[in-house]
Chains A and B, each alone.
Chain A
Amino acid sequence: MNRLIVHLRAYRTNAGLTQAQLAEAVGVSRKTINTIENGVFTPSTILALTLADELGCSVHDLFALPD
């Protein structure tokens, strides 16, 4: 299985949000944001869309498949 490339941390820090603030905004735990950023946990489509919506970008900006 291809490992997902995650740009969530960069977009979150650009938005000036901590992991805890983003977690509260999208209704998950801070540890879930942490594991997503580290590529340990792959979010559902709904959570990926919610994260993109909260950060004002598209899902493709946050997540990508390796070339």
Chain B
Amino acid sequence: MGYDLNRFEGVVDEELICSICSFVLEDPVQSPECEHAFCDSCIKQWLHHQCICPIDRIQIQPSDLKPVPRILKNLLSKLKLKCDYADYGCMAILRLENLNIHLQECEFNPKKPIVCTLGCNIVIPKDELKNHNCIKELKKIVDDHQSKITSLTSELNRQKYELELNFKELRSLKNFVSKYIKSNQLASNMVSASPTSPTSNLLGLNLTDDDDDDIARWSATLPIAKVIRWGGIISTPDTVLQTVIKRALIEHGCPASILNQLMENAHEKNWPLGLSTLENRQINRSQYANFVCKRVPNKQAVLILACDNRHMPSHMIVEPGNLLIFAHGVE
């Protein structure tokens, strides 16, 4: 639909008027044969009803429409008219070609987006500023975020639960596979008396049920440890300290199959996810009390063995166990 004739200065030539809307042509296009010009939106709406020129009934398809000649565009662009917001007080008289640029900037546009300077910095239409309430708007945003957080949290919990199930399944599968390999080895040993097959190591399966039993038996011999100050953990124990602890473990019957792994797990980089960063440690602090900790006798060190801590969520434990060396605070 074109521009209202009443907005224009002087008389507008009949040739510049759309015969469909009876206003001054807006985005004009013309039919290819008879060259009658119409507003783009008007002629498209008409061709939706009937594919003929509204003036002389020549057949036209919407795809046939062509841009109007430069002279027509020039004549239109030179017309002078009032701003769209004249009713709101804008006194500007503009050339049609400058209208759109002016409209974007016009101070009289009641819907002009402006930034609230009262504190919330939200962009709002100018005419809503009068009834604008920063607190109300910000509360809306906070509520929005809150509901997003709620839904994300419930999604996170669901994912955690699934992960937990997957861990358990993986563990039982590992057990099954290692038993299977072991029984095969036993069978082949009986035939060829060959040494151990490398397969189990290739699969990263250095834990077996028998090992588990060994660990559990060993764990039973260790005293329960009480950690007074969790803040005393040494996240990166030095070599000397490690050697001392390692010797103590050997002395007190640590199964050889897990000794090296335990020592590696004494370093922060191998800790379970739930303890891996300072931030995670703070989040999970409340769960520490649920750990079953075993004392490395006479040392400021505890073992959180996986076989003792199956009740803990999987992100709080590592296989075969986590060796935590303290500066102080272990009883």
Does B associate with A? no
